[in-house]
Structure 1
Amino acid sequence: MDLSFIASGFGVGLLVGMTGVGGGSLMTPILTLLFGVSPSVAVGTDLAFAAVTKSAGTFTHRLRGTVRWDIVRLLCLGAVPAAIVAAIGLKQFGALDKEIGQLIRYSIAGSVLLTVVAILFRSKMLAWINAHPERQLQGRALDTATVVAGAVLGTLVTISSIGAGAIGATLLVMLYPRLSAAEVAGTDIAYAVPLTAVAAFGHWWLGSIDWMLLLTLLVGSVPGITIGSWFARAVPERVLRGLLAATLTAVAAKLLA
């Protein structure tokens, strides 16, 4: 196994454990920029990586009772069909072609920038929503908005592997401001399992998953996530998220260059 991939998996796992931000916004750009992995293979491998790691997280949150399954169902109602359509579209246009690879590269950059916005302005968004309760959606309108949000995330995740973490959590906070932090995290992880599994299956169908690379990343990430979660309270969250936002902005700029 390549030690550099193991080290990258460990580093990403460490940051994810400390910040709670999804690994896709970190792992996919690292594979693309540092190791020269083609964008489509980086996305496919990272989706399989996410499906495995998020399954373990869902099991834990289910035991703690911090998953809102009614919201998970609505998100999946939009996300899973969107993921299937996006995978078929990639197949139709040739996911491994150079031109499509460049498009995927730009979509990764755009998703990274959205993640930065989610990291920096999530608390301000929540404060605004709480200050304007009359603007909060209710009933059928809320259900419809949740399904639409799931469809957007399903498309974004299938094309770029990014979006199920910070962006998904931010949308949940905006749509359901009364959810506890634990419920946001648990629900965000739970809906991402079928989404990333379906998207990963689509990329397997496209032939854009490197299974040996996947195994190597998992070897590094599992201890990284464990250690990061353990030391999460030792470092101020504001410092960590600021550093992460700056890093991701630089990554997006490099992808677009």
Structure 2
Amino acid sequence: MTDRTAPGGGAPPGRAATDGVAGRLRGRTDLASLPLLLAIWAALAWIADDRLLPGPGAVGAELVELALRGPLLADFARTLARVAIAFAVAMALGTAIGVALGRWRAADGLFSAWVVIGLNIPALVTAIACYIWIGLTETALIVAVVINKTPLVATTMREGVRALSPDYAELAAAYRMGPARRLRLIALPQLMPYLLTAARTGLSLIWKIVLVFEVLGSDGGVGFRFGIFFGFFDMTAILAYTLAFVAVVLTVEYGAMRPLERRVLGWRAARG
């Protein structure tokens, strides 16, 4: 049988060159994605020629105006603060609950139905209930988001704990590792893919839920401003806020999540 590996144990030269070309093409495709979206948007706005579908130029000018002289920056500051607090609390609670359910079958049997109920209760019901019980306050909004998103994180982390390899646990026992070293060297590397998945999924949903809850009841924020713009059918302002929101989301994804993923899970690519 012909050996298809390189002399140094890595990929053969032909495969490495192919991977390099594919990577460069993928990078160029990523760069072309947003300009293509803007071009399609501009074409549709030109064809429609309607005030309800403004083009990128009008929306960009409105965005600058709202950022310099309007409430855009203050609204985004309030919404991002709410998202950050709700995300941190939901991740902490969900991770703790998921680890407990994955580790102890008795706890999973007792509380798994609670998790299913939490996953399927509509966010709107949670928001209304919290607003009625706590009032139209910042605390009610954050509590509603945490209640809505914690079960999702718990479910993901439970599956991660269940997938832990017993072979590594035996290896840790053979080397007489303490609990701290077991957690750092054995458990965390295996759990990180699940933790990152829970973080990315939870964050993408928390963005949306916070905006909906702000529309229902808040005294500021991006969702609150959307409600006002909707009342005036101000599509240009709605798209301007949406454009700013997309910029924030892309910054978080490409500036934080993906570099963190490459750094934490780089060992998997190196091993492959």
Higher relative contact order (CA 8 A, sep 6+): 1
Structure ID, larger Rg: 2
Do Structure 1 and Structure 2 share a fold, with TM-score over 0.5?
Answer: no
**Structure 2 length normalisation: TM-score?**
0.29
Please report the TM-score for the alignment, with normalisation by the length of structure 1: 0.30
